Amino acid sequence: MKNNAGFTLTETLVGMVIGLISIVAAFSAYNYYNKSYTSVSQKLAVNKSARDALSLITTDLRNTGYYHVDFDSTNCSNLNSSQVDLIGITNNKKYLNGKYKQSDALHLYYSTSAKDQKRVKYELKKYQDSDNYYLIRDVVINPEGQYQSRGCPQWTRTYNMVVDEELLVPFVEDFQVIPKDIEGNVVFPVCTSCSSYENTKGGQTESKKNMKKVHTVEIYLTVRSPKEVYPKARKIKIQNGEHPYGSNITISNADKYHRETFFVSVHTRNLAIPQVAVASSGQSIGIGTGYNK
């Protein structure tokens, strides 16, 4: 006699419970690893974009202040060796942009040949559809071409936009640029587009003198993840650089975004005239304005 009996009701219910537990466990594991992957990928994206940007800024800072020995500016009073721009940092909080109105702007100048001058600009720009900002890089060859109308007939090269406000780093919360002399003291002002406050401290006249005092430049770059990362909202405080030249930002509205600050200190090797001691007399070759060794 054949046994045609199937599963009992109890066996069926036990099997369903076990299957349901397996499905829930698999879904929970998938959900956990998916969130972990999203969190890690967001942090990696922030890390990569910031480090790539700092590498580019470092290269430009090391080049800034270099002018070819035959650079064609000696016959123009606006572009002679004591007037030509080297570096500009706008760091007055009343004048600046960025989400928290504290971010700096950085202008770097150097020559690419005996005939051409290069200006590289880093600053924050606002997204059109939100209150967020991104870091741009702007490159111009011969930005001072307009000087031809100011009595500089030899300055006839054409203004050439090489890179037009390229998006370098998305979702930047803070960008601080702090120049220091060889003793580690902050140099201020060092501006090419000076604000009213910087003008009370000497403006461009004082800045021209200070440009050759800059021994190192400290860069603080705080970047936010594009998407939310953390399960719970957190309050964030950003402190980049020392008071009053750095920033001190408290984000009072707690959120779930990841923020990270990246830092680099760059020796500006071309901004001052190096001094070389003469072996026989111990005196210095050149005028005593340089100390960037």
Reported as a single tens digit per residue, the pLDDT across 177-229 is 999 999 999 999 998 888 788 888 888 889 988 999 999 999 999 999 998 88
When the pLDDT of each residue in the chain is averaged and rounded to a whole number, the result is 79
Distance separating alpha carbons of residues 61 and 216, to the nearest angstrom: 9
Is the separation of the CB atoms in 274 and 290 below 8 Å? yes
Percentage of the chain beyond pLDDT 70 is 74
- Is the pLDDT at 95 greater than 60, yes or no? no
Distance separating alpha carbons of residues 27 and 243, to the nearest angstrom: 50
| DSSP secondary structure of 112-172 | SSSS-EEEEEEEEEE-TTSS-EEEEEEEEESTTGGGGGGT-TT--PPPEEEEEEEEEESSE
Of 77, 56, 83, 81, whose CA–CA distance to 67 is shortest? 81
Q: pLDDT tens for residues 118-168?
A: 899 999 999 988 889 999 999 988 776 544 444 454 444 556 777 788 999
Q: Detail the DSSP E strand segments found in the chain.
A: 87-90, 105-111, 117-126, 133-141, 160-169, 172-180, 216-228, 234-240, 247-255, 257-267, 276-277, 284-285
Distance separating alpha carbons of residues 138 and 228, to the nearest angstrom: 30
Residues contacting 55, CB < 8 A, separation 6+: none
Q: How many residues does the chain have?
A: 293
